[in-house]
Every structure is written in structure tokens, then in C-alpha cells.
Amino acid sequence: MYLSHVRRMMLVVLCCIAHNQLAVANTVSTSQFNETGIHPCEALSFKAMSQLPEITALPNPFLKTDGTTITDKSDWPCVRAHTRVLFERFELGEKPPKPQKVSGKLEGESLTVNATHLQQSISFNTKVHYPSKGKAPYPAVISIGWYCLNKQALDDAGIAVIEFNNNEIAEQQNTGSRGKGKFYQLYGSQHSASAMIAWSWGISRIIDVLADSGQQQIDTKHIGVTGCSRNGKGAIVAGAFDERIALTIAQESGSGGSASWRISDYQQSQGQNVQTQKQIVTENVWFRDNFKQFSGHTTKIPVDHHQLMGMIAPRGLLVIENTSMEWLGNQSTYLTAKVAHSIWQALGVPQNMGVSQLGGHKHCQFPDAQLPELNAFLARFLLDDKKADTQVMKTDGEFDTSVEKWQRWNLPDL
């Protein structure tokens, strides 16, 4: 297991943490977990996969390490940090902290990022598309891979678009892509990081350079991230793992994105053609290699994707899904996002997370009917328009939308 020289320490302990946050004979300090600051949290420890309990419903996202529910909003940063560790350990791999040297420059429409770790260095470029309206410094949306949202909407709002070639950082052709890409040139091909974690790391380095040298052109306090399909999965991970991202827009991310492993399994058991954890780990390198140990045992995964989305809270998240794409887990994505919304609700900011699921269009073909939701979230989180109506939780799906089967815990009063 790969351990960061700063963020990981090996200790021998024998302790059991209640319910779904349990232990093995090593602990992980959660003192340093985001790109902007330090949360002084207690260490978290784990059990091996074979010793993890089965959790048939969606795990409680509000549990502290002692198994009790949080009682104050000030408890959330540490719960979020512990959740991050669980995702790193069991599903996604470790995201390294900012390397010892990051430099770069924004010149015109070209942003160069240089990073050095130990004796290795890499460099990559991104293209910045400035809007024809508004004035610098512009808020910006980092697009992972191809951009699928309404381009005119961003231009009209005076928002720049930054193209991020995620495949350059971590390849995603098939399972043979593991360990390939510039991230692995820097940290080694055996690094635990999945492709999605590597992309998240690359996006964080873009923000580093913009914050250091690009603030005259880009407003780094108003940065969003988006992507569709596999890149929509990556957008959720990027938003969850960097608190500097003000708005995450995940478009048709499906399995491994806004869908939960447990509900997707349920959909498949009902005879639907839905991608599950067992299938997706054989397709590509979006998850750490040993995540495949949970194939056929998803109820043993100590977390699920309502918690991955919840790591973005209390910041902005818009989940855009397509009811017509059964493979994405249309019921799973909606119910999981609906349960995730309860995290924002508990934190007192339900308007900061929304879900819009509409069918009748091709995959990643953004329909005009979802434009009001997009415009509202752009306005609230990137343009500081607090009057923008971001209260949206809708689907045109003809399936059961009740969450009682999956949310078996009470919402804490914070």
C-alpha cells in the first residue's frame, strides 16, 4: 500500500469503530486533507475487507469515528475528512498533496502547469476560452475532457471555460491503462491513485497556478468543474477532493458517479440493464486496483456515492442525469442524489445542491429544458447571485422515488 510521506503514518492499533467506519491494524491521520487548509481530526483506522460488516442500505453519512451521530455543523469537516480517507483506502486511491514545487503561467489562452516531486518533473498545458461578455477576472469552469453543456450560457454569463485534457494526466483506454500518464511519471506507475484521483490532482494543480499567477484573468474564488459520462464521474471526485471548487456540475455520470453501488445492484436484480460495481472494475482504471475485491460484495463497501457527493457540501453541486439511459442507473442516480441532498439539508443549505433528470435525448446531449437549472447554479455560485433559484429536485422517470428503503438513518438536527 502506497503511503504519502506526510499524510500517512503506520501505527499498530487494535480498535473497532462502530458501524461502517471500522478498523485494520493501521491508522491514518486526518490532519491534512484538502487543498486549502488543515482540519485537526483524530486518526481513522480500518478493518480488512473480509472483516467489514455488511451494510445493505446506504451508509449513514453523519457518523463520527465513535459511531455516534454528529450534533453540530462544526463536526462536519472531520466527518468529511474521514469519509475521504475511506474512499481513498477502499475505492479511489490516495490523492497526493501539493508537490514540493508547482509553477506555471497563464499567457493569453494558454495555461502551463509545471510540477516537481522528488527528482521527477512534468508539464502540461490547458486552453482557456474567454467569454465575449463580462470583464476580467472571469469566473471559470474547468471542463474535464470534451465540454457538453450549453456553451452560449457560459458566454452570456461572462464565464471562461478551461479545457483539461485528463487523458494526458491519466489514461483511460481500458484496464491496461493503469499507471499510464503524466501523474504516474511523477509518482510512479504503482501509485494507488485511480485515474479519477489523478485527474483531480491535475485540476488542483491548475487552480494552484491560477491562484499564483492568473488572478488578473481568472477569478479563482469562483471556479467550477464539469464533465459528462466518465468525465462526469471525474468531476464529482474533483469537487469532492478540492474545497476551492465552488461549483461541481456532474452530467450523466452514472455508475461510479452519482449512482450508488447498492441501488445499482438492486436495479440489476430487477432485470434492468444497469452498470454495476462488478462490471465497471473490469472496464477501465477509474478506481484503485484493489477495489475489485468488492465485486459481488458491494454491501461490504464502507461508503457509497451519496457520501462522495456529500463531500462537496456545503459547496455547490448540480447533478444532471438522463432518464433514458438505463445503463447509467436512472433510478440509482436519482435516489442516490436525493439521499445526498439530505447532507446539504442538515447543513442548512439545501439550495446548494440540486438534481435535474430528464430523458428523451442522447447521452451527453444537454437539452434546452435543463438550461434554467444550469443558469441558476452558474449565477449563484460563480456570479454571486444569491437570489438565483437553485431549488431543484426533479425527474421524469416512472420509477419509485421514495428513499425509505435506502435511508435508514434520521437527519441530525445541526
- Other CB atoms within a 10 A radius of the CB of residue 174 amount to 11
Name the nearest CA neighbour of 7 among 238, 194, 193: 193
Asked if 122 and 187 touch (Cβ cutoff 8 Å), the reply is: no
Name the helix (H) or strand (E) containing 44: strand 41-45
The pLDDT value given to residue 82? 94
Residue 141 CA: distances (Å) to CA of 184, 226, 287, 350, 389: 25, 7, 24, 22, 20
Q: Where are the domains of the chain?
A: 101-395
The residues assigned a catalytic role are 229, 363
- 8-state DSSP, 393: E
Tens digit of pLDDT per residue, the chain (414 long)?
A: 333 333 332 222 222 223 333 322 244 433 334 575 456 787 777 888 889 999 999 999 999 999 999 999 999 999 999 999 999 999 999 999 999 999 999 999 999 999 999 999 999 999 999 999 999 999 999 999 989 999 999 999 999 999 999 999 999 999 999 999 999 999 999 999 999 999 999 999 999 999 998 789 999 999 999 999 999 999 999 999 999 999 999 999 999 999 999 999 999 999 999 999 999 999 999 999 999 999 999 999 999 999 999 999 999 999 999 999 999 999 999 999 999 999 999 999 999 999 999 999 999 999 999 999 999 999 999 999 999 999 999 999 999 999 999 999 999 999
Instruction: Provide the grid cell at 327.
Output: 445503463
Classified as helix, coil or strand, 103 is strand
The pLDDT value given to residue 34? 53
Q: pTM of the prediction?
A: 0.92
The pLDDT value given to residue 41? 85
Asked if 158 and 141 touch (Cβ cutoff 8 Å), the reply is: no
Residue 111 to residue 35: CA distance in whole angstroms: 20
Residue 345 to residue 395: CA distance in whole angstroms: 19
The pLDDT value given to residue 195? 99
Those residues whose C-beta lies under 8 Å from the C-beta of residue 118, and which sit 6 or more positions away, are: 100
Name the nearest CA neighbour of 323 among 240, 398, 259, 271: 398
**CATH T-level topology, domain 101-395:** Rossmann fold (3.40.50)
